[in-house]
Amino acid sequence: MIIAERRPIPEILENIAPYSRVLVLGCRGCVAVCSAGGDREVAILAEAIRLAREREGKPIEVIERTFMRQCDPEYLEPLNELLPQVEAIVSLACGVGVNLIADLYPSARVYPGVDTSFYGANVALGKWVEKCRGCGDCIIDKTAGLCPIARCAKNLLNGPCGGSQGGRCEVRKDMPCVWHMIIERLKERGELERLLEITPPKDWRPAGGDGLRIRVRPDLA
């Protein structure tokens, strides 16, 4: 899922300082699952905004809503009714949602309420770890399903670097060396020879190196 975390409240308050009616808009997608932008976080942020503005002597009306998703135009339709009621939106969706609102409602002043961080997995209560960088040309069929681009501190395609000790990364001592894991796993499967083939330098264009990435599925269009 996409992992995000709420932006510092002072930054959010600064963005909405000129306004007296705002919409705090959550999303029930990834940001709700990682506890950054669902119903609960909308309520917490809305209350924090109200309290801060009361303290400043500049009360503000805050409308709270959470949409099923903000990355899909059909779920944004209620904005047609909501936008005339507010001067600005604080979106707790990932950057995709904020961008789509800005695209579809050019006159809306929409501000991000979260920092969009990475694609990760929930590995423990309250802990998410990056697993994929969305490079657009997946290579983990060769690396036992473990991604060296996201999980190796040097993003090595032909690891390990030689610095790992006791299975830990030499750069990030708090994480395992993913290349150590890859080798151990392939060894267990009797597939170590897969690593004899040198992986050539990666073509980063599918990762967005030459700009916006677009995917079209003619069968769905």
As measured in angstroms, the least distance from the Cβ of 117 to ligand SF4 is 15
As measured in angstroms, the least distance from the Cβ of 18 to ligand SF4 is 40
By the criterion CB under 6 A, which residues form the site for ligand SF4?
132-135, 138-140, 147, 149-150, 152-154, 156, 159-161, 163-164, 169-171, 177-179
Measured from the CB atom, is 79 or 152 closer to ligand SF4? Answer: 152
Measured from the CB atom, is 52 or 132 closer to ligand SF4? Answer: 132
Measured from the CB atom, is 71 or 150 closer to ligand SF4? Answer: 150
Measured from the CB atom, is 70 or 164 closer to ligand SF4? Answer: 164
As measured in angstroms, the least distance from the Cβ of 201 to ligand SF4 is 14
Measured from the CB atom, is 75 or 119 closer to ligand SF4? Answer: 119
Measured from the CB atom, is 68 or 138 closer to ligand SF4? Answer: 138
Per-residue CA distances from 8 to 14, 49, 61 (Å)? 10, 12, 20
As measured in angstroms, the least distance from the Cβ of 159 to ligand SF4 is 4
Q: What is the 3-state secondary structure (H, E, C) of the chain?
A: CEEEEECCHHHHHHHCCCCCEEEEEEECCHHHHCCCCCHHHHHHHHHHHHHHHHHHCCCCEEEEEEECCCCCHHHHCCHHHHHHHCCEEEECCCHHHHHHHHHHCCCCCEEECEEEEEEEEEEECCEEEEEECCCCCCCCCCCCCCCHHHHCCCCCCCCCCCCCECCECCCCCCCECHHHHHHHHHHHHCCHHHHHCCCCCCCCHHHCCCCCCCCCCCCCC
As measured in angstroms, the least distance from the Cβ of 137 to ligand SF4 is 7
As measured in angstroms, the least distance from the Cβ of 157 to ligand SF4 is 9
